[in-house]
Amino acid sequence: MPGEPKATGEPDARLVAMERKLVVLRGKATLQRDPAWLDVLSPVEALRERTAAIRIRGMRRRQQVASATAQVRLSGRERRAEQELARLELSDQLWQRRALARRDRMLDPVARLAAQQRTARLVAQVLQLGAVAGLVWTSVGVHDALVGPAGSPLAYLVETLFALLLLVLMTLRARAAQWGRAFPSRDHQRKIYALEGALLFGSIAINTSPVLPGIGFWRDTTTLLAHLGPPVLVLVVIWLHAMTTAFFAQLLADAHVDVADGGRTRLSADTLNVVTMVQKIHSARAKGDLPDWEDTGLPSVSAIARYFSCEKLKAQQAHDVLELMRPTASVETR
């Protein structure tokens, strides 16, 4: 009707406004309840997160470095262990070769004889060196006793005269021992022993006279022994040289080596060697140097090989010949 206000326009505007406001509030409430609002970090929290991240990355780096370092050290230890094992293996191989070479030399009769000859020469050289040292010592003592330390050098020749005679006796004993002879012989034993005694007494008297009471100036027992010892040791060296020479000469004479018949017999070389060894075994048994074994009544194979410095095969062949000859000997005895 005319003159009445329009009620529809104003309510509609208010409602629209309220509706708009309600939509805004609902949207705002929805957004405010979104978890993203809670995940937003404050500046302090962001700084702490960054610090934690930096620390974690540092720990990871340290762990990687430690793992790599441990792996490198382990590789180094493995490498050193392999090198040590290789060194030990090489050392074992070297010792094994040395042992095999020594075993071959011990089993080879020629090598054993060569080693024995080297030992004999070394022993002779040591004894000769000891004799020369003793003679030099006694020469100085005799020189000082006769003319004093500042006296004429010709006084050194006095002891040399004694030394030459002793060295000649030493050489004669050694050569006689090499040929299985005794020096001196029975006819000249008293003369040689008297000569040696006189030389020893003269050398001792000249060396000890300066320190004997009543004759010289007494000092002490040590000084007396220092003057008395060298002449006695020289005589001992002479006797030892003769004994060792005889010992090595006997070993060389008893050692069995392969011989050749040179066409003088119709036996083969091996057969002749076995027969020769059997003859040597009989001689050694007769002397008592090669005892019999109680079980067989014959020397054992190892004893024969050890006594004659020969191979075990040669000793076994000779032992077999002795076993074959034993029934014949028993029949002849009956």
Locate the domains of the chain by residue range: 113-253, 269-333
Pick the range with the lowest mean pLDDT from 2-11, 72-81, 187-196, 295-304: 2-11
Which position has the higher pLDDT, 37 or 18? Answer: 18
As a whole number, mean pLDDT of residues 289-312 equals 80
Q: Is the pLDDT of residue 333 over 50?
A: no
Measured distance CA(213)–CA(216) in Å, rounded: 6
Q: Is the pLDDT of residue 331 over 50?
A: no
Residue 290 DSSP class: S
As a whole number, mean pLDDT of residues 159-177 equals 76
Q: Is the pLDDT of residue 74 over 70?
A: yes
Give how far Cα 222 sits from Cα of 106, 146, 201, 215, 228, Å: 46, 21, 20, 17, 10
Q: Is the pLDDT of residue 185 over 80?
A: no
Longest Cα–Cα distance in the chain: 192
Is the Cβ–Cβ distance between 261 and 272 less than 8 Å? yes
